[in-house]
Chains A and B, each alone.
Chain A
Amino acid sequence: MVLPPDQDPKFRGYARPEMLVSTQWLADHLGEPGLVVAESDEDVLLYETGHIPGAVKLDWHTELNDPVSRDYVDGVGFARLMSAKGIGRDTTLVIYGDKNNWWAAYALWVCTLFGHPDVRLLDGGRTKWLAEGRPISTERAVTAESDYPVIERDDAPIRAFRDQVLAHIGMPLIDVRSPGEYTGELLHMPDYPQEGALRGGHVPGAVNIPWARAAADDATFRPREELEAIYRDEAGLAPGDDIVVYCRIGERSSHTWFVLHHLLGFPNVRNYDGSWTEWGNSVGVPIRRGAAP
């Protein structure tokens, strides 16, 4: 950890307070050596309309994914990407984005596949920074290239594959999609186009907790006790549970993964990034329709 953790009292309630920084902390540390700020948005043009001064752009679609096979970049690709953004292995990387940090959490999860030692989210993301009237810039950040080492991706601790989910049925599963997608009434997000799943519904046993419930109106994460009420009291998760989360392609569930693992401290949480676009097209896997898990 190059930069000190944010001592904001709100974060002390979380299992890993050092995973978040406040807008004030970021404003205070902007430009310091050892810190790189990255914006990762759903709308791939939003960065160009104005971003936190000095922030680099991290594009989930073109940069984190392998361009051909449905997978993430490999160790060489990740090293190339990080180096181009001026991120070193010892850099404190702060990621933020639009829509309650939806894609920022996804980018953080991908960085975690490569074990980047110090990567944090900006609590409240782009929305809060703008709402507070803090400075933005349209200048594309120019960063000196760094020399990021090639680290092989380690999927096992935080990533689940289809057959592992199949074997996981009966253990805690959280489906973070909208209620309509969960029941099988919709094959895609409300107001979003159909993305080609042939069957609707959910993995048997999965509890439906839409991802954005973890976010407050100002796009920050809800405080610890409110998150406990949602995920422990309502979803029934217990300490030590082995949990799998999923959505449509694994982006919304990265946000819930962050909440469960880093804010609530569940040690074993895996994100099934194949998610419904894989499950709903797989031959022979069990599917449940309707509101009951």
Chain B
Amino acid sequence: MTAPTARNPRLGEIAGEFAAVPDSERLTLLLEYSDELPDLPERYAGQHDQLERVVECQTPLFLAVEVGSDQVVHLFFDAPREAPTTRGFAAVLHAALDGLTAAEVLATPPEFVTQLGLADLVSPLRLRGLAAMLARIKHQVSEQAPR
């Protein structure tokens, strides 16, 4: 079995980035990510019915997944600014997975969530929200990807 990080070097880079900073700065790093989450494109703005709600998150988070005919995956999120932790999680997944192929996204190990070293900083409830976000992305990709 190939090491998952070998398939997608970004996972290891992001986990490494979180591991490199002390605990006290890890949340700040997550906040920096949350600031970089791209806005929803025009075609999804205000169209929550076209997005999937991640009910496992503590604050409303909506998600859209597109798999192109070239197998490239694009991710779109809508998360409120007053919920920076949820936004930060969405932004990390966007940075890690957007633009990869469907196969690469599907190969993302669930352990990626715990490799960010956030377990001691946020509640278990929140980490489960992040894990659920990843699971829902993979589910949508597997539904849409032509085989």
Contacts and interface: CB of A to CB of B under 8 A. Distances in A.
Interface of A: 42-46, 48-49, 61-62, 67, 98, 191-193, 195
Contacts of B108: none
A67 B82 contact: no
Given A43-B85, A44-B123, A48-B31, 15 more contacts: A43-B58, A44-B27, A44-B121, A44-B126, A45-B30, A46-B82, A46-B84, A48-B84, A49-B31, A61-B122, A61-B123, A191-B60, A193-B55, A193-B132, A195-B125
Provide the main secondary structure of the chain A interface: loop
Interface in B63-93: 81-86, 88
Contacts of B59: 43
Contacts of A191: 55, 58, 60
A231 to B, nearest CB: 28
A22 to B, nearest CB: 22
Contacts of A44: 27, 85, 121-123, 126
Contact of A42 (B30, B31, B58, B60): B58
25 contacts: A43-B83, A43-B84, A44-B85, A44-B121, A44-B122, A44-B123, A45-B27, A45-B30, A45-B84, A45-B85, A46-B82, A46-B84, A48-B28, A48-B31, A49-B31, A49-B81, A49-B84, A62-B121, A98-B82, A191-B58, A193-B56, A193-B58, A193-B125, A193-B132, A195-B125
Interface string B20-36: 00000001101100100
Contacts of B85: 43-45
A195 B58 CA distance: 12
Nearest to B58: A192
Contacts of A48: 27-28, 31, 84
Interface of B: 27-28, 30-31, 34, 55-60, 81-86, 88, 120-123, 125-126, 128-129, 132
Contacts of A193: 55-58, 125, 128-129, 132
Contacts of B121: 44, 61-62
A173 B58 CA distance: 27
Given A62-B120, A67-B120, A98-B82, A45 B34 contact: yes
Q: Which of A44, A45, A195 has the most CB of B within 10 A?
A: A45
Nearest to B81: A49
List 6 tightest A-B contacts by C-beta distance, closest first.
Answer: A45-B84, A193-B56, A45-B85, A61-B123, A48-B31, A43-B85
Contacts of A62: 120-121
B15 to A, nearest CB: 19
Given A45-B31, A48-B31, A49-B31, A192 B84 contact: no
A44 B84 CA distance: 8
A99 to B, nearest CB: 10
A143 to B, nearest CB: 15
A67 B123 CA distance: 11
Contacts of B31: 45, 48-49
B60 to A, nearest CB: 8
A184 B123 CA distance: 24
B56 A43 contact: no
Contacts of B27: 44-45, 48
Given A44-B27, A45-B30, A192 B125 contact: yes
Nearest to B120: A62
A46 B84 CA distance: 6
A192 B54 CA distance: 10
Contacts of B81: 49
Contacts of B120: 62, 67
